[in-house]
Amino acid sequence: MRVMGVDPGLTRCGLSVVEGAGGRKVTALDVDVVRTPSTMELSQRLLAVWDAAEYWMDTHRPDVIAIERVFTQHNVSTAMGTAQAGGVVALAAARRDIPVHFHTPSEVKAAVTGNGNAGKAQVTAMITRILGFQKAPEPADAADALALAVCHCWRAPMIARMAEAEQKAAEQRKVYQQRLAASRRKATGTGGGPVGRGRTTERVSTLEGKTR
């Protein structure tokens, strides 16, 4: 499975591609960081991220895209930029029918280091070790993009099992609802009224006759 990891951002957008064949063994194929100056118009900065994402998808042909999910950030403008950059990458993937999965920073940290609260230095050190690099990838955005891709490679089997379980649960709910609807139709009879409706009407008519 070939996974493209994206650490979205307007100032720096990390892009990576790793390949895994099952288990914990993963191989890095490429990594880079797209930089856009803050003086550039927002639309042009997003276009630069879009162009880079499209080039990477067309060049590396990933099976899936893993993007960092904006979870909590104190800087609202940074969070908005991250979400916007992630959105254009997801759109580029959708145009190519490439599935997209979002992972929170804590999920990525936990997958790579075993600690959901690990710092960037620890993530970088573990990625360097996992991928067998001679030196740590720079800047940190490159390491984060690689960590996202590795995280998805390792979590993919679990995600597939969860999706399968959800599908089976949905099918069981559908069957149950169909049986419940059939049972209700049977209980109300062919005329759609409640059980014993005819008998109740007959008894009322008899009482009315006696009264008269």
Q: Which of 207, 7, 24, 28 is nearest to 134 (CA)?
A: 28
Most confident stretch, 143-147, 189-193, 195-199, 203-207: 143-147
pLDDT of residue 179: 82
- Report percent pLDDT > 70 for the chain: 81
- Confidence grade of residue 31 (pLDDT, cut at 50, 70, 90): very high
Angle (CA) 172 158 65, round 5°: 110
Q: State residue 81 phi and psi, 5-degree precision.
A: -65, -40
| Residue 29 in tokens | 């194929």
Per-residue pLDDT band at 178 (split at 50, 70, 90):
confident
Closest CA to 104 of 151, 145, 150, 70: 70
- Tell me the two tokens of residue 64: 């899936």
pLDDT in the model for residue 204: 47
- Write down the mean pLDDT value for the chain: 84
The mean per-residue pLDDT over the stretch 115-120 comes to 91
Q: Is the peptide bond before 99 cis (omega within 30 degrees of 0)?
A: no
Catalytic residue list:
7, 68, 141
